[in-house]
Each structure stands twice: as structure tokens, then as C-alpha cells.
Amino acid sequence: MPHSNPELWMPESPIDVFFFDCDSTLSLIEGIDLLASMNGVAEPVHEITQRCMATTGLTLADYRKRLDFIKPSKIQVQQLATMYGRHLAPGATDVIRLLHSLGKKIYIISGGIKSAILPLAEELGIKPSRLLAVDVYFNDDGSYQGFDEQNELTQANGKSICIANVLKDNERSLLLGDGFSDWEAQTTVTRFVGYAGLHPKAWVQEHSNFYILHTNITPVLALGLTNEEQINLVGEHKTSYDQGLSAIRKGLVLIKEPVDVHHPNS
């Protein structure tokens, strides 16, 4: 059912920090599956990815098994970096630009390969220090060696841990993501917004208070800015905000009542 009452979805107090998932969110592709396709192991890797993203979350064993199947080379990871940029989600550049103009802190948080995501972060103007992802290591000849197994993002509930580590006391936060690992981090942020992208996860949709039903991410602006913030927007920023607002009014964003906010700084 479309919602036009802003009391149901507009934050009362400003959101200070915005976290964005990368794979199938900021970029519409699923990087690990593309690497698997390059090396002829798409089926077993996709099976693990779908299970983890849809219902169970990620474990270190699953993370290791996927990369052991794929054994991505340094060149393939560089190719993936190019593909991330080519498949940027509609509205992503405008959303990040607007949030930067308001002085918001912006993080990319991903269980993906950091070196593949870094060029995308740079393209969007996000500081390298605010890219939370996993280091993968290569031998001198560029062949796969291993990954940082101590990184929390390779383990269950890793995004919650990483978000808690970077948030300061009393900072209000929003996370946009498509998978189970994003959803399970909702207890650590002020507001979680689920995202369908090209491959919606039914479980995440069913259990999210806010859920964008299409690929354009501009609704996160209407869900993340206060009335005081939005009334001062002008030009292209106002256009981006209004695009997201229109999606809400057309019923392209699911909003549940009552809205449950989990983080104590809500």
C-alpha cells in the first residue's frame, strides 16, 4: 500500500552516518558470482552465495570455500573492479553526491574484495578509509594466495561488528543493503533499508520495515533525511530527493506499520 504520510518514514532527527552494501546494491552485480563464472565454477559458488544472502548469513567456512573454488587471479579482480563501475545502481551517484553535500559520513561495507571495490569508492568520492571490505592476497605471479581470515566481514554477523566499531556514541545511522548479512546488522543501526535490486531476497523483504522494490536507490534519501534537511535542497539535489519521494508515494517502497527502530539512538 502506498504511503504518503511522512510520519511513517521521515526521520525525526538527522542521520549522521550512511552505510551502503556494494554487491547487488551500490553496484547491481554480484562480484563473487562473476568471478566464479570466469573460472567455470558458477554453480557451486552461486549456491553458497544464495544460501548465505537469503537466509543463513555468511560464515568463515563458506567464505573460504567460495574463494577456494574460484581462486581469482589479480587480473580477474581488476576486471571485476571495472564491472562494478559499469553496473552502478540507478541514482547511486546522485545519492552519494547529495549526502556528501550535507556533510554526512558515508561508508561502503561489503564482504567483497576490497581492491575490486576501491575504484568504485573513489569514483563516488568515498574515502578509502571508509571502505570496509576484505583484503585478498596474491602470489608474485598474480595467482590467488588467500584472504584476510581475521576480517570480521568474512564471519557471521560481521557487518554488525564493523558498524559498531566505527560508530561514535550518539551517532545515528542508516544501512542500505539487499542480503541477510545486511538485515542482521539492523540492530546496530538506527534504520535499516532493504533493497531489491535485480535479485530480491524474499526473506529480507518480508522482515524489513523499509524495503525498496526496484533498482533505483533514490528512495533512501526520503527515508534518510529529516524534513528540515529536505526543504533546503535545491537544483539536482532536490530533483534526486523528489524522485525517491515519488517512488514511496507510488508504492515502490514497502513501509510497515508500526515502524520498529532498533538502535538506542533512534
Pick from 131, 90, 99: which is nearest to 113 by CA? Answer: 131
Q: What is the pLDDT of residue 156?
A: 87
pTM: 0.93
Q: Mean pLDDT for each 10-residue chunk of the chain (266 residues)? A: 68 97 97 95 88 76 94 98 98 98 98 98 97 98 98 94 97 96 94 96 93 98 97 97 96 78 44
Angle at 78 between CA 90 and CA 174, to 5 degrees: 40
> What does DSSP say about strands 191-195 and 210-212: parallel, antiparallel, or unpaired?
parallel
The pLDDT value given to residue 257: 67
> Residue 5's pLDDT is what?
65
Q: Where are the domains of the chain?
A: 6-28+89-135+155-255
Question: What tens digit of pLDDT does each residue of 213-242 get?
Answer: 999 999 999 999 999 999 999 999 999 999
Give the closest residue to 90 by CA, choosing from 30, 34, 28.
28
Triad 136, 138, 140: Cα angle to 5°:
160
**pLDDT at 49 (0 to 100):** 80
pLDDT of residue 222: 97
CATH superfamily of 6-28+89-135+155-255: HAD superfamily/HAD-like (3.40.50.1000)
- Sequence-distant (6+) residues with CB within 8 A of 50 are none
Question: Angle of helix 92-101 relative to helix 235-249, nearest 10 degrees?
Answer: 120
- Nearest Cα neighbor of 111 from 180, 166, 43 is 180
Residue 134's DSSP bridge partners are 113
Q: For 143-155, how does the pLDDT look when each residue is reduced to its tens digit (9 = 90+)?
A: 999 999 999 999 9
**Share of the chain residues as helix, strand and coil, in percent rounded to the nearest 5:** 45, 15, 35
The predicted pLDDT at position 266 comes to 43
Kindly give, in sequence order, each residue whose CB lies less than 8 Å from that of residue 99, ignoring residues fewer than 6 positions away: 18, 106, 221, 224
